[in-house]
Chain A
């Protein structure tokens, strides 16, 4: 497959994977640690959405499905499907070290491994998923944090996971 098209497809798949898994496991609902609360309140002060801010703070402060997707892509590149499962195990250990139960991270890396396996049949390689995941995290954290938090807040409302305060 053409590299640019593959890259765009991989970015979309990674974005959907980690946003859906993270939102389902309640990242926008509450900050897991103090750092996530500080980021959420800072985003709210800049007229962003508090749930999206908590989401951004949580994926910054502990390895959630975003880091899980990235590590699963790297593991898949190096070792194939067992590599993706080892990545899930390592993400779980990392989660526990970061005071996070780790449901989102491990589920995210297992689903990412499955998605990379499925889409390898139409020619998407793990390399494209690594770059795609970096671009996907950039759209959440890097380009415009306030607008990204508003979009994430709307998605959280759809999943009934908006912050309760």
Chain B
């Protein structure tokens, strides 16, 4: 009368409709999610007026090309190896992570990783 197994399976299936279950996605979807994360993070950084390229090879300033996509795909990889992919085969997750990493680079990066220019230990 009260079937726990079917209840569990049914509720998991309902959750799956909304894309909240753990789904393993294929290689094509993974590559697509990486590309989406990279492109969205660069676009969000550019919208927030972060410069496109770093000034030179020793610059500590953030730019849209250098730390933003690295942070985005690094965090996306953490989700992918845990099989935690949201709806649309991970695309929604990639977009959310891209937006968050753009915001992080613009507003929080210098607070979390301060540039060592003020310290004394640096040589040049």
Residues of A within 8 A of B (CB): 25-26, 30-34, 36-37, 79-80, 82-83, 85-86, 88-90, 92-93, 96-97, 99, 101-103, 106
Residues of B within 8 A of A (CB): 30, 34, 54, 57-60, 66-67, 70-71, 73-75, 77-78, 80-81, 113, 116, 119, 121-124
Closest to B79 in A: A82
From residue B39, how far is it (CB to closest CB) to chain A in Å? Answer: 16
Nearest 3 CB-CB pairs, A to B? Answer: A89-B74, A82-B77, A99-B116
Which residues from A are CB-within-8-Å of B123?
Answer: 31-34, 36-37
Report yes or no: A26 in contact with B80, Cβ–Cβ below 8 A: no
Closest to A26 in B: B57
Which residues from B are CB-within-8-Å of A102?
Answer: 67
Report yes or no: A86 in contact with B124, Cβ–Cβ below 8 A: no
Known contacts A32-B124, A88-B74, A92-B74; 14 additional CB pairs below 8 A are A30-B58, A30-B124, A31-B123, A31-B124, A33-B121, A34-B122, A34-B123, A82-B77, A85-B77, A89-B74, A89-B77, A97-B113, A99-B122, A101-B59
23 contacts between A and B (CB under 8 A): A26-B58, A30-B124, A34-B122, A34-B123, A36-B123, A82-B78, A82-B80, A85-B73, A88-B70, A88-B73, A88-B74, A89-B71, A89-B73, A89-B75, A89-B77, A92-B67, A93-B113, A96-B113, A99-B121, A102-B67, A103-B57, A103-B66, A106-B70
Known contacts: A31-B123, A33-B122, A82-B81. The answer to whether A25 contacts B70 by CB under 8 A is: no
From residue A82, how far is it (CB to closest CB) to chain B in Å? Answer: 4
Report yes or no: B81 in contact with A86, Cβ–Cβ below 8 A: yes
Known contacts: A92-B67, A99-B116. The answer to whether A86 contacts B77 by CB under 8 A is: yes
Which residues from A are CB-within-8-Å of B75?
Answer: 89
Report yes or no: A83 in contact with B124, Cβ–Cβ below 8 A: no
